[in-house]
Structure 1
């Protein structure tokens, strides 16, 4: 009886110490939402009171003729107002280099892009519900365009629906985005002062090892100047691989997308478009969780 009492006492004391340790911070810190893809977004949101810092660098390169490299830098701070609502602000900068590109003047310069802000509200969680569902609203003010770094005074609003479905105990993850964009003030960088676009993306990725995801993603966009569906400008589809690595406090994502289809008005018959688009898009993201 004495020995049984001693074992019971040890078990009771051990359980109490474990509970105390958890209460004092033994639980692992809450993980922020990770960007598994370069161009496609997931439905999860930051926990309340947590924030992330993201740095995104995108290289757009490859025209029909000439040499073109457009670098986009996006520095973003994201905060969780509630477990379901988050917001962010970002600073955009561009570096444009082109030589011998049709309809573009040769240039080699760094320009200030502008400011962007987003809010995202999670309706369903991909980890707790049958699927994840979120709505996202992005708006911004852009001083220079992304094609040639030309002056503009663009203000845009872009609502988006995000769907995410996880399989096999969250080792296989699929994400789907679809939305539109209304933009004003695109002149004098472009011929028309306002424009409407439809855009979307889809991605599937698999956890091949602890901390590692490898997958495929694609994104598409179509544009109509003056908000007029009878005034088509161009459409484009990109696709390619994405690789993601994450630790408890930071993560990185590298994505490469190739233009698999493009069509622009008044362009020669072909399966790619180059007036505003490029043949290759390479995106690198790094995020830090706090």
Structure 2
């Protein structure tokens, strides 16, 4: 059964026949939304690798169907899954398994367009229910709300695209009668330049941090990652590839990195296929 799951996962991960709106970056969102009545299938495939001890590899696969409710409001439904291959790590149980992690719903509202106004501004909200940890593959009972402010500024007749995302994500977990809460926060930024009519090349930076009990005085960690990104868009599909090594963190568990909370290296490949109206 596992071999069937892995074969199906591999086929989906390497699918290339995948545009309604372009996702220029792997981790940062752009401010534009789909037009009313349009539909698109997207798939996010994220390989995470490297912990302090043992072997650690995980492949997160997010299946997404999104549509324009109005020309300003976009909605999407996600199915979140992951394949976890972990062994020899004292903090994470050995596992070699692919399964469903949970569901989430996205609402993206555009206030200003980066193509019609002086800059782009959108607000993003994503309620999520998680029953399996993507980091370890272990059961969990978690609810979260991912909220973002998305800023975008284009230059040189849209040949140069810059974005900044500000994120707050409160989380609530329950284990039997035990309950705990935390607050994840983050900043992502990206800049990319059109080097050919259909191709953009750039750089993306991600900063993640977390606070226990939603208390800003109880910071648990932060981590910085940065790396190159490539985006290609044809008439009937687009894809984006971003490589994101961790470069600095606190507290440090391995050289200048925090490999308890985050991984040493991530790479994300995502694509989109427009569907009929």
- TM-score, with structure 1 as normaliser: 0.85
For residues 56 and 50 of structure 2, the distance between their equivalents in structure 1, rounded to whole angstroms, comes to 6
Residue 192 of structure 1 and its aligned partner are, at CA, apart by 6.7
Q: Which has more radius of gyration?
A: 1
* Deviation sequence 1:209-261 (CA, Å, 0-9, x none): 01101000011111112112232211111110010111112101111001011
C-alpha RMSD of matched pairs (Å): 1.6
For residues 129 and 241 of structure 1, the distance between their equivalents in structure 2, rounded to whole angstroms, comes to 28
More helix by share: 1
Q: Decide whether the 8 Å contact of 1:143 with 1:154 is kept in 2.
A: yes
Say whether residues 1:273 and 2:226 are aligned partners: no
| Higher RCO (CA 8 Å, separation ≥ 6 residues) | 2
Q: Decide whether the 8 Å contact of 1:32 with 1:45 is kept in 2.
A: no
Q: Which residue of 1 aligns with 2:72?
A: 84
User: Closer, same or farther in 2 for the Cα pair 1:144/1:122, shift >3 Å?
Assistant: same
Q: Which residue of 1 aligns with 2:33?
A: 45
Structure 2 unaligned segments of length 5 or more: list them.
1-18
Q: Decide whether the 8 Å contact of 1:97 with 1:106 is kept in 2.
A: yes
Say whether residues 1:117 and 2:105 are aligned partners: yes
- TM-score, with structure 2 as normaliser: 0.89
Q: Which residue of 1 aligns with 2:14?
A: none
User: Closer, same or farther in 2 for the Cα pair 1:42/1:65, shift >3 Å?
Assistant: same
Q: Decide whether the 8 Å contact of 1:192 with 1:225 is kept in 2.
A: no
Determine helix, strand or coil for the equivalent of 2:154: strand
User: Closer, same or farther in 2 for the Cα pair 1:219/1:187, shift >3 Å?
Assistant: farther
* Deviation sequence 1:133-154 (CA, Å, 0-9, x none): 1011111101111211111111
Determine helix, strand or coil for the equivalent of 2:21: coil
Greater shift, 228-237 or 179-188, is seen at 179-188
Q: Which residue of 2 aligns with 1:257?
A: 244
Number of equivalent positions: 256
1:137 to 125, 145, 168: 125
Moved over 6 A (4+): none
User: Closer, same or farther in 2 for the Cα pair 1:205/1:106, shift >3 Å?
Assistant: same
More strand by share: 2
For residues 116 and 218 of structure 1, the distance between their equivalents in structure 2, rounded to whole angstroms, comes to 24
For residues 264 and 179 of structure 2, the distance between their equivalents in structure 1, rounded to whole angstroms, comes to 24
Q: Which residue of 1 aligns with 2:49?
A: 61
Residue 94 of structure 1 and its aligned partner are, at CA, apart by 1.0
